[in-house]
């Protein structure tokens, strides 16, 4: 099972709540939850995978500002459930176990999109058609020059005209 599938299984248990789960140094949300958190809490959205958005809050910031975050979520009337890695948690993923550390009630969530238009997203790091990392326009010219110089070097080494 992939991590996204694990999150989707947790979402099935709580379909009307935003799911946040600790992954490494961040509490992350993906898919429709990322879109909601971007628009309601102002979090920066990026790509989790091709066609799937994500947002994250650093664990240290989350824990330091827990009361502010709780108040903001209540103010927006969002239902949220936050999972953290804990010993003997009820939900297993690979060699880790997770459990609920925060749960707040709120209105039902009607957002169904996993992402908005990836090609128009300024935070898109994937090219939708090829699933390759994109090269920012500013970096393209510099990279193209380096590649041309590399090809010229190869031609000289191989004595190709």
User: Residue-wise pLDDT tens for the chain (161 aa)?
Assistant: 678 788 888 888 988 888 899 888 888 888 888 888 887 788 877 776 666 778 888 888 888 888 888 888 888 888 889 998 888 889 888 888 898 988 888 887 766 555 555 555 655 555 444 444 455 555 667 777 887 888 888 878 887 66
- pLDDT tens for each residue of 100-121: 988 888 887 766 555 555 555 6
* Domain extent for 107: 3-126
- Compute φ and ψ for 121, nearest 5 degrees: -75, 125
At 38, phi and psi to the nearest 5?
A: -65, -50
Whether this model's pTM surpasses 0.85: no
Structural domain contains residue 73: yes
Is there a domain that residue 89 lies in? Answer: yes
User: Which CATH number characterizes residue 84's domain?
Assistant: 3.40.1170.10
Q: CA separation (Å) from 109 to 61, 80, 104, 133?
A: 25, 10, 13, 31
33 belongs to a structural domain? yes
User: Is residue 26 one of the residues assigned to a domain?
Assistant: yes
The structure tokens listed for 12 are: 């099935």
Two structure tokens written together for 10: 């947790």
pLDDT tens-digit profile of 115-143?
A: 555 555 655 555 444 444 455 555 667 77
């Amino acid at each position: 099972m992939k991590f996204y599938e694990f999150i989707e299984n947790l979402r099935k248990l709580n379909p009307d709540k935003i799911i946040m789960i600790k992954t490494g140094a961040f509490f992350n949300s993906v898919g429709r939850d990322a879109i909601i958190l971007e628009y309601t809490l102002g979090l920066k959205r990026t790509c989790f995978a091709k066609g799937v958005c994500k947002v994250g809050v650093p664990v240290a910031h989350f824990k330091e500002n827990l009361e502010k975050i709780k108040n903001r979520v209540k103010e927006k009337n969002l239902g949220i459930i936050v999972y953290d890695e804990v010993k003997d948690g009820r939900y297993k993923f690979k060699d880790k176990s997770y459990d609920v550390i925060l749960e707040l009630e709120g209105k039902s969530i009607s957002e169904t999109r996993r992402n908005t238009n990836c090609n128009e997203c300024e935070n898109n790091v994937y090219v939708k058609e090829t699933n390759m990392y994109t090269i920012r326009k500013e970096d393209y010219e510099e990279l193209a020059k380096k590649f041309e110089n590399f090809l010229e070097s190869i031609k000289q080494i191989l004595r190709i005209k």
